A and B are shown apart, each in its own frame.
Chain A
Amino acid sequence: MTTPNSKNAERLARVAASLKKRHAAEKRFRFFGVLASLLALSFVAIFFVSILSRGLPAFWQATFNLDVYFDPAIIEVEPRPVPNPGESPADFQQRDYAWQSQVGMVNWNRILENSLIALRPDLEDERRTLRSLFTSGERFALRDRFIENPDLLGQTVRLKLLADANVDVWIRGNIDRDLPDAQQQLSPRVRELADAFFATDALQMNFSTALLVNPDSRSSPASAGLGGAFMGSVYMILVVLFLSVPLAVAAAIYLEEFAPRNAITDLIEVNINNLAAVPSIVFGLLGAAVFINYLKMPLSAPLVGGLVLSLMTLPTVIIATRAALKAVPPSIRQAALGLGASKVQTVFHHVLPLAIPGVLTGAIIGVAQALGETAPLLLIGMSAFVSTIPGGPLEQSAALPVQIYLWQGNELRNFFEGRTAAAIIVLLALMLSMNALAIWLRKRFETRW
């Protein structure tokens, strides 16, 4: 026979027995949680270390520091024309262009070669080899410098001139120095000279802004930069910001606050949620079909890219805005309505201001998503090689993520690997600063109640 006391003891013993199991389960769960977090963090760490270790060095490029003599014997051009009295601007422009093309005919390579020969007079017979040390874009850079400032004629200026991409690769050791000649990117003599100049001050690894400000280039890989892609992305983001965000916010306000709940709005809601899940490349197809084939908009234009990305971000921003509106307590709406505010007044005086942090966050997340999107842009021609910086949203352009895609596929592998990683750093920095902005705005406008 069991007394109440022994019954109690038995019950406690049972509880105690089960305790061990429970604690074990808890510990196990925590362990897996920590493990998962550490795993995720280590992947992030690997990602950042790998990108930074490859990308950051790419901002330093093999650069010649040379005294360049703008030799009047080589630059045989007239002084730059000045407007004559009574001359029409068009006539003057024409004469100026004629002068510019004359400047273009100058043998700028010879000036580059001379600047090296000034250091090593013994190389007078190897002009071709010397020329190949410079990246081919530098002669045009010299030309542009002269057109900008014709007073340089006869002067000696200390300039930084980018070395050829292959020279950069050789000096960096990105190619195995022991490979046989047949497999090297440079001839033995060029390699020898590059090493010789690198041993002196003439050739150094210098920080170069080319990567940030120049447009893309194929003929002169060492001067290829992100400038064009960056501006293209900026134009697209502006289009998204001014098109997608207002539309999405307006749609969300209507659907959340005004639209009656019926079959049609249910259908719209389901469709918006589905659209958010549509693969982005499908939006690219839509853009190609509608904007380019039907509306005859230009190919490769940031405007079209922006339109396509707007379509893509609309559902995301609508959903985020609706969630933000939903989070505003209904008591605030009742308070305003009870005072005799109309529906519109209630929304714009009270509900929307309280939802602003959420709306802004949604908008910025949407824009950041658009900034990083690549697939739809490939289908509207933005993967084309564009060697200029676009001056407006209708001009041909690349975009940052597309530039990454293009560079990672470049055949000059050992040079562009670093540049690709550097482009990724730039894109990531943009993304992170946009997310930081979102957080700051959220904190700034948050109302506590």
Chain B
Amino acid sequence: MNMANSQPGSMMTNTLGKAASQQMSREVTVSAQDVKVYYGDTQAIKGINLDIYRNEVIAFIGPSGCGKSTFLRVLNRMNDTIDGCRVEGKVTLDGEDIYDKSLDVVLLRARVGMVFQKPNPFPKSIFENIAYGPRLHGLASSKTDLEGIVESSLKRAGLWNEVKDRLDQPGTGLSGGQQQRLCIARTIAVSPEMILMDEPCSALDPIATAKVEELISELSREYTIAIVTHSMQQAARVSHRTAYFHLGDLIEVNATDKVFTQPEHELTEAYITGRFG
């Protein structure tokens, strides 16, 4: 019943053609094996196996409470911050077990960045928002270097032209969509390998959403992206592969167009045709 290990070959049928050339490399970045998550006595995830490939955009969809956000948080151990949360199973990042005791969670989060549902810039200036991560990890060797990182991060997030004249203004003064792109810029400023996005557009209007989606497609050239979304259109627009979660199980994972046109599982079909969710 668990179809998590679907054939990577089906990826080739992706007709959306988003950065298709990059998917040629089948290098596994993240590999989850039999991951189970408990919140106290409740089991939120019931044993998930999933490989995520380098430079792909993978969308997690499913009805509310299906465990997709929880699974996303497993990948950079943000669940550690929740009281009573327990993770079983094995998750590797480039072959390294991220739940190993010897692994430093700070380093993991520098490698796997995260963008949250609600834009959450620090109540500091735009510059400080971006500079915080690099400064924290000592990535910049000089002030000019830091300024370079801030500029390139904002440019890659497509925000540079809008804010270059007011870097000293508070980041909280930007519009919702700009704030979310600021958060994305803040995440890529520490040069992670992978970016996790937890419903990044749910608090944004359609135009801001379109901009963020465009940005996600851009970023997929350099980063591996896992995105949780409630919008199936969004999953269809931005992702290469889509994983459908249901009540803590991973029901189906396949090339996005395949999931939306010929779902292999009846639950997936029921969900994407709007019979529940």
Does chain A have a CB within 8 A of B205? no
Q: How far is the CA of A315 from the CA of B230 in the complex (A)?
A: 45
Among B109, B115, B187, B190, find the residue whose CB has the most chain A CB atoms closer than 10 A.
Answer: B109
B120: A residues at CB distance < 8 A: 329, 331-332, 334-335
What CA separation (Å) do A111 and B159 show in the bound complex?
87
Docked-complex contact B123 and A338, CB < 8 angstroms: no
- The complex places the Cα of A100 from the Cα of B78 at a distance, in Å, of 77
Interface residue A218 (Cβ < 8 Å from any Cβ of B)? no
Residues of chain A within 8 A (CB-CB) of B190 are 339-340
Kindly state whether residue B118 has any CB partner on chain A within 8 Å: yes
| Neighbouring A residues of B116 by C-beta, 8 Å | 331, 334-335, 338
B107 within 8 A of A: yes
Quick one: given A261-B83, A332-B120, A354-B123, are A339 and B78 in contact (CB under 8 Å)?
A: no
Q: Which of B78, B110, B123, B133 contacts A334 (CB 8 A)?
A: B78
Pick the residue among A260, A333, A340, A354 that contacts B136 (CB under 8 A).
A340
CB distance from B146 to the nearest CB of A (A): 15
The answer to whether B83 and A335 touch across the interface, beta carbons within 8 angstroms, is no
B81 contacts A by Cβ under 8 Å: yes
Q: Determine if B121 is an interface residue (Cβ-Cβ < 8 Å).
A: yes
The distance from the CB of A136 to the nearest CB of chain B, in whole angstroms, is 63
A350 and B76 in contact, given A335-B116, A338-B187, A340-B106 (Cβ under 8 angstroms)? no
Quote the shortest CB–CB distance from A154 to chain B (angstroms).
71
Answer whether A333 and B81 are a contact pair too, CB < 8 Å, given A340-B106, A340-B109, A340-B190: yes
Q: Which of B76, B121, B137 contacts A335 (CB 8 A)?
A: B121
For the complex formed, measure the closest distance between the CB of B223 and the CB atoms of chain A, giving whole angstroms: 15
Chain B positions within 8 Å of A341 at CB level: 106, 132, 136
Which A residues from 334 to 389 make CB contacts under 8 A with B?
334-342, 345, 349-350, 354
A342-B122 contact, Cβ under 8 Å, with A334-B81, A337-B78: no
Interfacial chain A residues near B132, Cβ < 8 Å = 336, 339, 341, 349
Interface flag for A294 (CB, 8 Å): no
Query: In angstroms, how far is the closest chain A Cβ from the Cβ of B97?
Result: 18
With A and B bound together, what is the CA distance between A337 and B186 in angstroms? Answer: 13
A447 to B125, CA, bound (A): 12
| Interface 0/1 of B129-167, CB less than 8 Å to A | 000110011000000000000000000000000000000
Contacts of A332 in B (CB 8 A): 120, 122-123
Q: Is B126 an interface residue (CB 8 A)?
A: no
| B113 is an interface residue with CB less than 8 A from chain A | yes
The closest CB in chain A to the CB of B118 belongs to A331
Q: How large is the interface on B (under 10, 10 to 19, 20 to 34, 35 or more residues)?
A: 20 to 34
* B183 CB–A CB distance under 8 Å: yes
Q: How many Å from the CB of A378 to the closest CB on chain B?
A: 45
Within the complex, the shortest CB–CB distance from A444 to chain B, in Å, comes to 15
Contact of B133 among A329, A340, A342 (CB under 8 A): A340
How far is A335 from B123 in the complex, measured between Cα atoms in Å?
11
List chain B residues, Cβ under 8 A from A339. 109-110, 113, 132-133, 136, 186-187, 190
Q: How far is the CB of A389 from chain B (nearest CB, A)?
A: 47
Asked if B83 and A447 sit within 8 Å, CB to CB, the answer is: no
Chain A interface category by residue count: 20 to 34
B219 at the interface (CB under 8 A from A): no
A449 within 8 A of B: yes
Is A448 an interface residue when CB atoms closer than 8 A count as contact? yes
Interface string of B232-273 (1 = CB under 8 A from A): 000000000000000000000000000000000000000000
Contact B172 A342 (CB under 8 A): no
Distance to closest chain A CB from B55 (angstroms): 21
> Complex formed: what's the CA distance from A338 to B120 in Å?
11
Q: Which residue of A lies closest to B84 (CB)?
A: A261
B69 CB to closest chain A CB (Å) equals 12
**Interchain CB contact under 8 A, B172 and A340:** no
Q: Are B81 and A337 in contact (CB under 8 A)?
A: yes
> Considering only CB atoms, which chain B residue lies closest to A343 in the complex?
B81
B98 within 8 A of A: no
Q: Which residues of B contact A329 (CB under 8 A)?
A: 120
Indicate whether B114 reaches chain A with its CB closer than 8 angstroms: yes
The chain B residue sitting closest to A339, CB to CB, is: B133
Kindly name the residue among B107, B116, B132, B172 whose own CB sees the greatest number of chain A CB atoms within 10 A. Answer: B132
| B81, B114, B120 pick with most chain A CB within 10 angstroms | B120
CB contact between A350 and one of B113, B122, B187 (< 8 Å): that residue: B122
Contact of B121 with A345 in the complex, beta carbons under 8 Å:
no
Which chain B positions have C-beta within 8 A of A337? 78, 81, 109
**Residues on the B chain within 8 Å of A260, using CB:** 83
Interface contact A449-B123, CB-CB below 8 Å: yes
Using CB atoms, name the residue of chain B closest to A331: B120
One of A335, A340, A354, A447 near B107 (C-beta < 8 A): A340
CA distance A39 to B78 in the complex (A): 54
Are B106 and A335 in contact, with the CB atoms below 8 A? no
Which listed residue (B76, B106, B123) contacts A448, Cβ 8 A? B123
When distances are taken between beta carbons in the complex, the residues of chain A under 8 Å from B81 are 333-334, 337
Tell me the smallest distance from the CB of B271 to a CB of chain A, in Å: 28
Cα distance A16–B193 when bound, in Å? 67
**13 A–B contacts, CB within 8 A, in A order:** A331-B120, A334-B78, A335-B186, A338-B78, A338-B114, A338-B115, A339-B110, A339-B113, A339-B136, A339-B186, A340-B137, A350-B122, A449-B172
**5 nearest interchain CB pairs?**
A331-B120, A340-B110, A338-B114, A340-B109, A449-B123
Known: A335-B120, A345-B136. 18 other contacts (CB 8 A): A260-B83, A331-B116, A333-B81, A334-B78, A334-B114, A336-B122, A338-B76, A338-B113, A338-B187, A339-B113, A339-B133, A339-B186, A340-B107, A340-B108, A340-B110, A340-B190, A447-B123, A448-B172
